[in-house]
Chains A and B, each alone.
Chain A
Amino acid sequence: MSDYAINTANKKKQKQKFTINRRQYTFGVIGLSILILLSVLIASYALPDSNIATNLNAKNLEPSFDNIFGTDWLGRDMFTRTIKGLRLSVAVGALAATISVIIATILGMIASINDKCDLAVSWFIDLFLGMPHIVFLILISFALGGGVKGVVVGVAVTHWPTLTRIVRAEILQIKTSDYVKISRHMGKTSWYVATKHILPHIVPQLLIGYLLLFPHAILHEAAITFLGFGLSPHKPAIGIILSESMMYLSTGMWWLAFFPGLALIIVVKLFDVIGENLKMLYDPSSAHE
């Protein structure tokens, strides 16, 4: 990504009179990504539900200008279904990311109290990473009796371990820095150190971690729905659309699977791009990784 950015920036320099620097380019990419995501969200509310009502006159249509993603075997517009499905994905992603950030912050703080707490937190992280993620999701979904709740809760409570690891390492590093030691010697309380020294440093990390959690959460939501856990078949969700499409693929209806999956990847990548670019702005040295 970084080389690509430099190359495009260089090319622009050669071709055009006006130039943009690396920083402006990064801001541009972030702005554009946010704009696309917002338009998906707005479209998901703007598109009428009548588009996904059964309409047998228009069933099994190939993609055309009227239905750019085609229609399914009930004549539902695939574009509308996809966009509405993406809204669910983003909502689940947002919830999962929020909960994960909260858990990661709390556990990161706990780990910084003393060595024993640190050991306990690491043990917990290992425990939750010890099962393949999807197996864990199946287990939680089953424990909650399936349904939307099972999927949403499952995705929400299983994404914190990796972020916690990052936060924990960050806090440990700040804690051993000189200014924190001086602050302690000057008689500041642990609360003061935590809120005035540590928290301001980890907030940007948390924000970036928040954004970079979206891709994982969204893909896991789609995966668990695809396997048939949770959401009812009438709900527009990418996982459901794709697992339904399996029955119709052999009749050559490739658009049922192709476009929804592609749209999902684009949304996931947009979150990824926003997160990675923000990380570059916050920590320029990471741009060369």
Chain B
Amino acid sequence: MNNNSVLTFIIKKVIRFTSLLFALCALSFVLISNSPIDPVKAYIGADMMNVGPEQRAKIEQYWGLDKPAHEQFLSWASAVARGDLGDSKIYRRPVIEIISERFAASLLLMGTAWTISGILGFILGIVSAVKKGSWIDKVIKWYCFVLASTPTFWLGLLLLIVFVVWLGILPIGLAVPAGVLKTDVTLADKLMHFILPALTLSILGVANMAMHTRTKLIEVLNSDYVLFAKARGESDWEIVKNHGIRNIALPAITLQFAYFGELFGGSILAEKIFSYPGLGSAITEAGLRADVPLLLGIVLFSAIFVFSGNLIADILYKVVDPRMRGISAS
């Protein structure tokens, strides 16, 4: 009974997820195929003058551009269903290869920022709530208040000025030093180039989590059972440990999974500033240079990424919380 209801819930979610994903594919495809940007022209660039109408027709035929839109969509969709996203026009390699390669780099970046900002935000939120009204609470609140509206790219630029230009202790960009063979790049090099983008993303992610945790914990601390715990003589820390964290941990984790979308957006900007070769810089390039297969591929991938985050959040909320289980079992 219990397992069944959880299973139906997950199946329902997955169906919704699939329908949304299919609609997103169609929407993206319609948007892109109606673009006035001529893919042939964008691909060839300045040499367009040297391309005759016959050559052009050949290129269009090769890419299938001469077929009507719905046929293009069907052939694209069936290829996608088989796991074939086509070839990137700027890299001349299968899109799926580029995505998996770039995603590994981005995942490292986003994963680090996600973990650090989640844990740090949670701790800051708890401190702020427990010491409500004190100077440390005010500092944390102001930090969050300002950071909630700070553009990722501006923060990145500031870090760049301070650590690279003024202090000169970190390298300026790219994932590896320039002019060094791939085999000669050490782990330390990679780490040095990784610090700034990860730091940018982490600092920004903290605000969201800290404010949320603070609000929730204050709510808990104002409850009758905490008053009772105080009356029993529990210390501040015991109250937070026994009554606070248990109540606020799950919403916080859910929030952090629902944060995937913003995290992805942030990584696009951070990767642009630091020329970090991840998915974010790939989509910017694909958009600017009209690489339709790559653009579509990454759009799809980002949607799957966000949906999975939301899906995990929803499922965690239902499945992990023992109180929810109690309701479905009865």
Contact = CB atoms under 8 A, between A and B. Distances in A.
Contacts of A145: 35-37
Interface string B4-34: 0000000000001001110110011001101
B291 to A, nearest CB: 10
A131 B24 contact: yes
Q: Looking at B24, B157, B165, which has the most chain A CB atoms within 10 Å of its CB? A: B157
Given A139-B28, A144-B35, A144-B36, A246 B157 contact: yes
Given A127-B23, A141-B287, A223 B151 contact: yes
Contact of B306 (A132, A138, A252, A272): A132
Given A145-B35, A223-B152, A132 B261 contact: yes
Contact of B268 (A126, A135, A265): A135
B153 A131 contact: no
A185 to B, nearest CB: 35
Interface string A1-45: 101100000000000000000000000000000000000000000
Contacts of B215: 289
Nearest to A257: B157
B102 to A, nearest CB: 14
Interface stretch (B86-94, B142-150, B227-235, B239-247): B142-150
B133 A3 contact: yes
Q: Looking at B145, B153, B165, which has the most chain A CB atoms within 10 Å of its CB? A: B153
A129 B288 CA distance: 23
B160 interface: yes
A208 interface: no
Contacts, number: 152
Given A132-B265, A252-B165, A257-B161, A127 B151 contact: no
B287 A272 contact: no
A127 B287 contact: no
Interface in B310-324: 310
Contacts of B138: 3-4
Given A123-B20, A219-B151, A265-B146, A227 B269 contact: yes
Interface residues of B, number: 58
A226 B32 contact: no
B272 A226 contact: yes
Contact of A264 (B19, B151, B265, B269): B151
A73 interface: no
B298 interface: yes
B261 A133 contact: yes
B interface majority secondary structure: helix
B295 interface: yes
A215 interface: yes
A228 interface: yes
Interface in B217-275: 261-262, 264-265, 268-269, 272-273
A197 to B, nearest CB: 32
Contacts of B152: 223
Contacts of B112: none
Contacts of A242: 153-154, 157
A229 B289 CA distance: 11
Contact of A142 (B160, B290, B306): B290
A126 B172 CA distance: 38
Interface in A125-180: 126-127, 129-135, 138-146
Contact of B151 (A140, A141, A249, A261): A261
Interface string A252-264: 1010011001001
Q: Looking at B21, B146, B303, B305, which has the most chain A CB atoms within 10 Å of its CB? A: B303
A195 interface: no
A269 interface: yes
Interface in B126-176: 132-133, 137-138, 141, 145-146, 149-154, 157-158, 160-161, 164-166, 172
Nearest to B30: A143
B136 to A, nearest CB: 13
A19 B163 CA distance: 47
B163 to A, nearest CB: 12
Contacts of B273: 246
A144 B290 CA distance: 12
B295 A142 contact: yes
B194 interface: no
A251 to B, nearest CB: 8
B269 A254 contact: no
A141 B32 CA distance: 10
Contacts of A278: none
Nearest to B146: A265
A223 B149 CA distance: 12
Contacts of A123: 16, 19-20
Contact of A135 (B19, B20, B298): B298
Given A3-B132, A219-B149, 11 more contacts: A4-B141, A123-B20, A132-B302, A138-B284, A142-B35, A223-B265, A228-B288, A245-B157, A249-B164, A265-B149, A265-B154
Interface of B: 16, 19-21, 23-24, 27-28, 31-32, 34-37, 132-133, 137-138, 141, 145-146, 149-154, 157-158, 160-161, 164-166, 172, 215, 261-262, 264-265, 268-269, 272-273, 283-284, 287-288, 290, 295, 298-299, 302-303, 305-307, 310
16 contacts: A3-B132, A3-B141, A123-B20, A132-B264, A132-B302, A133-B261, A135-B298, A135-B302, A138-B284, A139-B32, A141-B287, A223-B152, A223-B269, A249-B164, A252-B165, A257-B157
